[in-house]
Structure 1
Amino acid sequence: MTEELARADNDSPWKEILSTYFPQAMQFFFPETAALINWQHPHEFLDKEFQQIAREAEFGRRYADKLVKVWQLQGQEIWLLIHVEIQATPEDIFPQRMFSYSLRIFDKFAKPAISLAILCDADPTWRPYQYSYNYPNTRLNFEFGIVKLLDYQNRWQELEASNNPFAIVVMAHLKTQQTTKKLTERKSWKLSLIRRLYELGLQEKDIRNLYRFIDWVMILPKALEAEFWQEFKQFEQERTMSYITTGERIGYERGKEEGKLEGKLEGKQEQGQRLVLRQLQRRIGELPQEVQGHIETLSLEQLEALGEALLDFITIADLLDWFEANQTV
């Protein structure tokens, strides 16, 4: 598997989509818990609190963990621990890890957490849901809720009938999983799913958000990606709709090739600088002035290399590591 295809396992698209559509995620995957929550009251992501927990837990890499404070219909606050487990193979320590996180949350903040896991692996038999031990005078049985995305293979019609954005998320995940060695078929499904975003009549912001997820997980080799965008461009022209093609990846590639990223009157150097700065701000947030200044000193070749690399960045530390690795500092 190439490095580009391996990137499909990255947690960032799951983090983004969970943050953007958290109520819909709960209603889609865990309706019984969702029914307890007053969605009129704003929910709060407790990222700093969870980072404090996770730093102390020595269980290896996390994927898309979210600790969220919500309010019950009766008025009390409650915390939710949502874990997206993207494992290539089953992991024996997973139930212990879920218990450890729950215990640490309670220990540090005196708040019990409803623990829920979305299992994205391809093993139909791996369904961990509890951590327990039993001694003569001490016993424990900790259970947590799980959803197995693989189960939706037999519920495809239900996914097609749903207007919840996570139906599209599950479709994209399953078709990515099923086409690991069938990349031409993956290209066809990628086009079909993105066309579906238009056909559902979604708002522009929802199309953009779901497009980003589909594009990120359904990675294609460059040749097939080029074919995909030619086909999609034709579809887009037929529908006289154009806002999807401003996506990060194709926006960079097409802009670089056509030389019209920021207007015909600007030179390629300025075009590259402006594009890279805009893409970085979308990926990792506002950049310090000194970082922006450093980018403005890069050559056109370096800007093109950075434009490719930044698609994998999650934090500003990734950018600084790239500077150092490419000896630009």
Structure 2
Amino acid sequence: MTEQQANYDSPWKEALDLYFEACIAFFFPQVHAEIDWQRGYEFLDKELQQVVREAETGRLFVDKLVKVWRREGTEAWVLLHLEIQSQVDSNFPKRMYKYNYRLFDRYDQTIVSLAILGDTDMSWRPQDYSYELWGCRISLQFPIIKLLDYETRWTELEESRNPFAVLVMAHLRTQATTKDPQGRLQWKLSLVKRLYELGYTKDNILQLFRLIDWMMGLPKNLEQVFDNEIMSYEGAETMPYITSVERVGMLKAQRADLIEVLETRFKEVPPEFVDMINGLYDNPALKQLHKQSITINSLEEFRQLLVQALAEQTLEN
């Protein structure tokens, strides 16, 4: 069977932007209990990028740096690593340590490092980094969550209303159906229908539908089957708003048109640009970018517009 393409990195990054508090509540409840969520939180992406270089770390994982406030009133920075890969990375513990000490050294802030591992190796569970010489010892221990462990906690996932329960199910079933397109189709249908059964709001249904659709890639013929099945289901449920398939379909068309213009003008569009464009779900923003792509002088100028659009989208949410 043909292996089915999946996109883990981008949907998880988007989910962390949209549902950060829900992420901490679901995976790290003890940490969640120590944070004063009424004071809000702030993403510190610029600060993180100042100490991390993409060329050094690659693109197989998602990292988020977030400023939160403890209930006692002091400030803390949460460094959240999401590792999505299918093989053991012997450098991961060292990278956790390097990020932690670099951020502490530069900003003199307490850094809490957490890790979510989305790989397929059950035995790989890095939780610390240390070295010792001549009585001098340096070490970092960090809590981890292994997504594979939720295979034996499936009932817990089904009973949870936390959006990350649905995303974990989508992640695990995407991995399990790499060579099974029909199986992935059935799981994708089941998970999307669950969004309605759980009584999510309109906005959450649209957001989570988009993330599941993004993650669980299907061949074009089965994608059409999926769209038809969901449209029929939404029609039967008499949804009083534009259907998820129609909304996502329009977004897909807008993104495809935008990428096509860039390819026509500049021949090759870097994968980074495609990821950024696929991360946009604001119709007016995509429409404006489409107009700008026709006359923009260079890909670098367009990259700046993409960064700005994504930043504005995050602020609105």
In the superposition, the TM-score normalised over structure 1's length comes to: 0.77
Answer whether contact 1:284 1:316 (CA < 8 A) is retained.
Answer: no
Alignment of 1:30 with 2:16, yes or no, is: no
Offset of 1:243 from its aligned partner? 3.0
Gaps of 5+ in 2: 257-276, 307-317
Match of 2:80 among 79, 82, 96: 82
Secondary structure of 2:77's counterpart equals strand
Partner of 2:243: 243
Aligned to 1:113: 111
TM-align CA RMSD: 3.1
Of 235-244 and 73-82, more deviation after overlay is shown by: 235-244
Mapped partners of 1:137, 1:144: distance in 2: 23
Q: Report the AA paired with residue 53 of structure 1.
A: V
Q: CA deviation at 1:82?
A: 0.4
Post-superposition offset of 1:181: 0.9
**What is the total number of aligned residue pairs between the two structures?**
279
SS in structure 2 at match of 1:99:
helix
Q: What SS does the corresponding residue of 1:121 show, helix, strand or coil?
A: coil
Mean Cα deviation higher: 243-252 or 163-172:
243-252
- 1:232-271 counterparts in 2 under 5 A? 232-241=230-239, 242-249=242-249, 252=252
Partner residue of 2:10 out of 3, 9, 12 = 12
Distance in 2 of aligned mates of 1:294 and 1:248: 22
Aligned: 1:176 with 2:174: yes
CA offset digits 1:44-79 (Å, max 9, x no partner): 000100111112882333521100000000111100
- Aligned-pair distance for 1:317? 2.8
Matches for 1:129-144 after TM superposition, within 5 Å: 129-144=127-142
Higher relative contact order (CA 8 A, sep 6+): 2
| Cα distance, 1:284 vs structure 2 | 11
Q: What 5-or-longer segments of structure 1 have no aligned partner?
A: 257-277, 298-314, 321-329
Q: Deviations over 1:55-107 (max 9, x none)?
A: 28823335211000000001111000001100120100000000000010001
Structure 1 residues 37 and 284: CA distance shift in structure 2, 3 A: farther
Distance in 2, matches of 1:190 and 1:98, equals: 33
Q: Percent identity?
A: 47
Aligned to 1:194: 192
Contact 2:5–2:178 (8 Å) recurs in 1: no
User: Residues 250-295 of structure 1, C-alpha deviation per residue, up to 9 Å, x if partnerless?
Assistant: 65469x9xxxxxxxxxxxxxxxxxxxxx989637994797962543
TM-score (norm 2): 0.80
Q: Which has the larger radius of gyration?
A: 1
CA distance in structure 1 between the aligned counterparts of 2:295 and 2:53, rounded to whole angstroms: 35
Secondary structure of 1:64's match?
strand
Q: Structure 1 CA distance, aligned partners of 2:80 and 2:70?
A: 17
Structure 2 equivalent of residue 282 of structure 1: 281
- Cα pair distance change 1:7/1:183, threshold 3 Å: closer
Aligned 8 A contact 2:14 2:279 in 1 = no
Contact persistence 1:245–1:251 (CA under 8 A): no
Q: Give 3-state SS (helix, strand or coil) of 1:65's partner.
A: strand
Distance 1:146 1:284 in 2: 37
Q: Is the 8 A contact 2:129 2:141 kept in 1?
A: yes
For residues 298-324 of structure 1, the C-alpha deviation after alignment (integer angstroms, 9 at most, x for no partner) is xxxxxxxxxxxxxxxxx943999xxxx
